[in-house]
Amino acid sequence: MHVVVLGAGLAGLAAAWELARAGVEVDLVEREDHVGGMAASWQVDGHWLDHGPHRFHTRDAELLAHLETVLGAPMPTRARRSRIRLRGRWFDYPLRAGNVLANLPPGLLARSLFDYARARVAERLAPTPDLHFEAWVTKRFGRTLYELFFGTYTAKAWRMPCDRISADWASQRIAQADLADAIRRTLFPGRDAGPRGLATRFHYPALGGIGAIARAYADGLRAAGGRLHLGRALERVEVAGGRATRVHAAGGLVLDCDALVSTMPWTGLLERLELRDGPGLDAEARAAMAGLETIGIVFVYLEVERERVMPDHWVYLPEADLTVHRVSEFRNFAESASPAGRTALCCEITCRPGDERWGLDLESAARIAREDLQRVGLLRPGEGRALDLRRLAHAYPVYDLEYRERVQALRRATRQVANLVSTGRQGLFRYNNMDHSIAMGRKAARGLLAERALAALGAALPARAHEAVGAGAEYYG
């Protein structure tokens, strides 16, 4: 069996690694000149830089053991520290009731508690559906806390109204079930081991940034006989008889395949399918492709001549008059990330690819970032040398109110090609974590291996387990 894997992010690398280790002929095709996708790292002037704050955490002990096998060393465990800077005050995030009570002005605190109590009583008397993000948060925290901590930041980061964002985003990304849950966690921190307790600790490589994981996978793939083709953007996939038969990529690369695993953006893959027979993509699939959107991020990196700027791994900046929505400091993830006496900050600016923010150059973006960080007190006047700038077009899948139906339409279209598996964050249009992406890739590979074994026996083919990873109503941390 010969498998072609598209995309050398974590899902694609994990799939290719598993297949090559099982003796399958594998070609991994990646459009960039490096591996890792969103979880890549690179060096500039002695600093290891990531695409914002990355961290690995999982409840699956086997998955952690697998990753440390790939790396050839244990990954250090770190206690997460992240905060919100709001109205000149610093709030812990995930929210801690004691910290919120201590920081909110008395009048605002009283209004917050009153709104919360009113929302909970109203919900008990007449339960309402979780129609969208705003509804999910408001009925669990009250209007005041929603506007303070959740609504403003989410609308700013996604650049759209919160009543147009699916409630799925809230259920997966807000650490507390409600305000009462935050109070319980404050009073009884030792009981924070439930489904929303993942956020407190994480793993991060000691050397080489988060991209050390992807580079280790790539080394292992080559050692197992797999081939890695960098700088080869997909051009088209020939499909005949309901099966992908040949892959064409930049630079004249042509690869025949028995199976195709794609972790590239789902809509981009479907656009490049060259269907030589059969009905092709129907109107529903094409409408879904046109309707799914992603948010882009411009990452601007500043060097500061200090050992550290902040104690946090990252800080949220929700206020609408600030352009930057999150800032992270890599030295706090690993001491080796920056040279002695210097540190690097990553400032994130969300955008739509092609808009005025997307087109910012390094100096313009650095000026915006410096001004914002000076306003919140993280930088002093004159600090913050422009270090680097990177862009990601497909950073956040937009969970609007129609995204579920569109995803189902793409899934149906993809299944028209029997030997095609679309998986990973981009391939399933899912805003999941690193552990999910790795698990998706591994399960996709194991599914193909199981199909081969069962087909030889004439048995029924298994369900595609990779699609279930991270698909439940779970907190992603």
For the chain, domains (ranges, CATH) are 2-40+60-76+207-292+402-468 (3.50.50.60), 93-195 (no CATH), 294-397 (3.90.660.20)
DSSP tag of 416: T
pLDDT at 463: 52
Work out the number of other CB atoms within 10 angstroms of the CB of residue 205.
25
Count of residues for the chain? 477
pLDDT at 280: 82
Q: What single-letter amino acid sits at 258? A: D
Cβ contacts of residue 205 below 8 Å, gap of 6+?
A: 71, 75, 76, 212, 213, 334
Collapse the DSSP code of 242 into the 3-class scheme (helix H, G, I; strand E, B; otherwise coil) and give the result.
Answer: coil
pLDDT at 97: 80
pLDDT at 468: 74
Cβ contacts of residue 473 below 8 Å, gap of 6+?
A: 171, 172
Collapse the DSSP code of 313 into the 3-class scheme (helix H, G, I; strand E, B; otherwise coil) and give the result.
Answer: coil
- Strand duo 253-256 + 243-249: pairing: antiparallel
Burial class, 148, CB count within 10 angstroms (exposed 0-12 / middle 13-18 / buried 19+): buried
pLDDT at 187: 46
Mean pLDDT by 10 residues, the chain (477 residues): 97 98 97 97 98 93 95 94 95 86 90 90 91 92 91 92 91 65 54 54 96 98 98 97 96 97 97 86 94 96 98 96 97 97 98 94 98 98 97 95 96 93 95 93 94 61 67 55
pLDDT at 170: 83
Tokens of 445: 């590979």
